[in-house]
Structure 1
Amino acid sequence: MPTATRMKPGNTEKVLIVGGTGRLGGLLRLAWARQGREGLVWQSRRASDGHGLDPLGDPSGFARAAAGATTIFCLAGVTAGGPSELALNSDLALASIRAARAASVPQVFLASSAAVYGRAETGTGEDGVPQPVSDYGRAKLAMEEVALQNTGNWDNGPAVTCLRIGNVAGADQLLGTRAANGPQMLDICADGHGPRRSYIGPQALSKMLHKLFALGRGGATLPPILNIALEGAVAMDDLLEADGRSWRPMPAPPTVIPELCLDITRLSQVIGRPNRADAIEIVADYRGLVPHPTVVTERRGGVSR
């Protein structure tokens, strides 16, 4: 199988972000705006949100939007649904690679997920054998495989890196949502704590991504698969406590994975070792962008906040 030839790197950063209107995209947009990052171009199906185009239905428009870009970052994806819906993850990845090839974009990053590891019986290093247990994890693994296989089949094409991103505070189901009524329910494992997961705050993630964009723009050879998270794992009950949430425990069913901690050895070699995961710092990272909503309670004679 021929290997992909590295396209000529660009000098001025232009990152086309595909699917930037989702929960994670919204947090990254806030983080990069706070950091004063320039050269970010956001794709959306609605022109009011950026480049208005359908990456699957308008490949020529996708290529035009990518013209002059140094990087395409594909955040777009499907998290739920049947096989046909989840297969769109692979279609979106291939569309990004084809647009990059048509527009001579040297680097493509594809947002994958720690969900590809499943119960991590073979470890959570990028060279291990993933064993996803969810349909979403299997779809993301299929996306990686088809993207890297197609990249390798091209004599001249973009370099592709699949980013297996851990849980992102605020974009996850734990901190990013609230119980409609009453305390939040949380599975508690045999050790008396909630499941432990690799986590990262959106501001820390935005800085990592910026480093990777700069390396790709400079012509560095990046690995085809890269875990993205802080070092170590945090318990979900600690995160709820750090966020001041009211929550109630319930016994974890056998299907719950007690711990999934990504091996970040390769990431440390590429951009330097990240900070160690700490529940208070992770929540502070998220709340620095999205403060707690003000709770207004009507009282006789006035309003208390």
Structure 2
Amino acid sequence: MAKDAVLVLGATGRIGRLLQLCPPEGLALRLQARRAQAAAGKPDAGWRLFDPLEDPAALARAATGAAAVLCLAGPVPGRGAGEMADHIRLGEAAVRAGAGAGARVLLASSAAVYGAGSGLLAEDAPLHPASAYGAAKAEMEARAAALGAELGVPVCSLRIGNTAGFDAILGGWRPGFSLDRFADGATPRRSYIGARSLAQVLGALLQRPALPPALNVAQPGTVEMAALLQAAGLPFAARPAPGTAIPEVALDVSRLQALLPVPLAPADAAQLAAEWAGLEPQLRQEQSRR
């Protein structure tokens, strides 16, 4: 049985590398990179070398025959506003490629679009991004949805919560690391998903014929950041939380759970840390070869 082809834009980023280590069953991945060294040592991995913004013709060719386009490409948080706008341009480029190929489009967005929203955040909650990164992702979602409606392309924006190991806590830990601590003694709580679990979820969603316009991606519940570091055996100090600190960001994942063949288990600090511990050496080894 032939596998569905999926064009993965931005395949050299963290999630793209994760999909190479944990390839989804039933899918043939076409991996896009801008530079040849990204594909070094992997001649059979299906790499396509081009810049999606500078070479739309190459993007269209790479998407031909694909069932879906997964756009993971975009600047990392903390870059300037000008670079953040690339999220919008890349999202629209993915939709145009999907239109030419007759493919559905999945865009990697972020829980950052909700900003400091309180309570259990469902996909229809108002978006109040509190950072340039969150604002760029929210604008990407809106512009891609409008273009998709115009061109007849199904578009789903994946609002991915904290991925354990790709986050600023477990993944960003360094000696002397400190966490905000609130007056009640708690550290921030966030919706999380394990790295291997994320790969499995993406594989399942890429094989769904229809998805909603936006979808929260995380495991049920929240995890306290202190518990995550403790589970990983990483020491940390505590500092008083500033007034701008957000105590909790909790995503409603009921819509996601209904779409998965096997619902995700509630987030657990030990499970999240174990998934990262199993993948970290391979991800670091691969990164060192680039």
TM-based fold match above 0.5? yes
Instruction: Determine the C-alpha separation between the residues in 2 that align with 1:37 and 1:246.
Output: 41
- In the other structure, the counterpart of 1:170 is 165
Q: Which residue of 2 aligns with 1:197?
A: 190
Structure 2 distance, partners of 1:212, 1:108, is 11
Aligned partner (choices 174, 180, 187) of residue 180 of structure 2? 187
Q: Which residue of 2 aligns with 1:70?
A: 67
In the alignment, structure 1 residue 284 sits paired with structure 2 residue 274 = yes
Instruction: Provide the residue aligned with 2:43 in structure 1.
Output: none
For residue 16 of structure 1, the aligned residue among 7, 26, 48 is 7
- Show the counterpart of 2:44: none
Give the RMSD, CA atoms, in angstroms: 2.0
Q: Secondary structure at the match of 1:133?
A: coil
TM-score (norm 2): 0.89
- State whether structure 2 residue 206 is matched by structure 1 residue 213: yes
Counterpart AA for 2:13: G
**Residue in 2 that maps onto 1:31:** 22
Deviation at 1:86, TM superposition (A): 0.8
2:227 is matched with: 238
Residue of structure 1 in register with 2:86 after alignment? 88
Q: Which residue of 1 aligns with 2:135?
A: 138
Asked if 2 retains the 8 angstrom alpha-carbon contact of 1:31 and 1:202, the reply is no
- Alignment partners' CA distance in 2, 1:124 and 1:287: 29
Question: Which amino acid is 2:224 matched to?
Answer: A
CA distance in 1, matches of 2:192, 2:119: 20
Tell me how many residue pairs correspond in the alignment: 273
Post-superposition CA distance 1:191-248 (Å, at most 9, x none): 31220000011110111111111113xxxx2100000000000000111011111211
| Residues 6 and 27 in structure 2, CA contact (< 8 A), matched pair in contact too | no
- Per the alignment, residue 150 of structure 1 pairs with 147
CA contact (8 A) 2:191 2:222 kept: yes
Aligned residue number for residue 57 of structure 1:
54
For 2:248, the aligned partner's letter is E
Name 1:4's counterpart in structure 2: none
- Paired with 1:292 and 1:29, the residues of 2 have a C-alpha distance of 11
Tell me, yes or no, if the aligned pair for 1:31 and 1:289 is still in contact at 8 Å.
no
Per the alignment, in what secondary structure is the counterpart of residue 87 of structure 1? helix
2:236 corresponding residue in structure 1:
247
What's the offset of the Cα at 1:11? 6.3
What SS is found at the alignment partner of 1:274?
A: coil
**Is the 1:164–1:228 contact (alpha carbons within 8 Å) kept by the matching residues of 2?**
yes
Determine the structure 1 residue equivalent to 2:42.
none
Contact 2:216 2:252 in 1 (8 A): yes
Q: Secondary structure at the match of 1:249?
A: strand
Equivalent residue number for residue 263 of structure 2: 273
Q: Return the offset for 1:103.
A: 2.1
Percent identity between the aligned chains? Answer: 43
Kept in 2, the 8 Å contact 1:12–1:70? The answer is no
Quote the residue 1:296 is aligned against. none
Q: Is the 8 A contact 2:3 2:26 kept in 1?
A: no
Q: Is the 8 A contact 2:178 2:236 kept in 1?
A: yes
Task: Give the match for residue 32 of structure 2.
Answer: 43
CA distance in 1, matches of 2:272, 2:20: 18
In the TM superposition, residue 130 of structure 1 has moved relative to its aligned partner by: 1.3
Residue identity in the other structure for 1:290 = E
Structure 1 residues 292, 13: CA separation in 2 closer, same or farther (over 3 Å shift)?
Answer: closer
Please tell me whether Structure 1 or Structure 2 has the larger radius of gyration of its CA atoms: 1
- Alpha-carbon separation, structure 2, partners of 1:255 and 1:30: 37
- SS of 1:227's partner is strand
Distance of aligned partners of 1:163 and 1:75 in 2 relative to their CA distance in 1, 3 Å threshold: same
Deviations along 1:70-108, whole A, 9 cap, x unmatched? Answer: 111000112232322111100000001111111222x11
Moved more, 108-117 or 268-277: 268-277
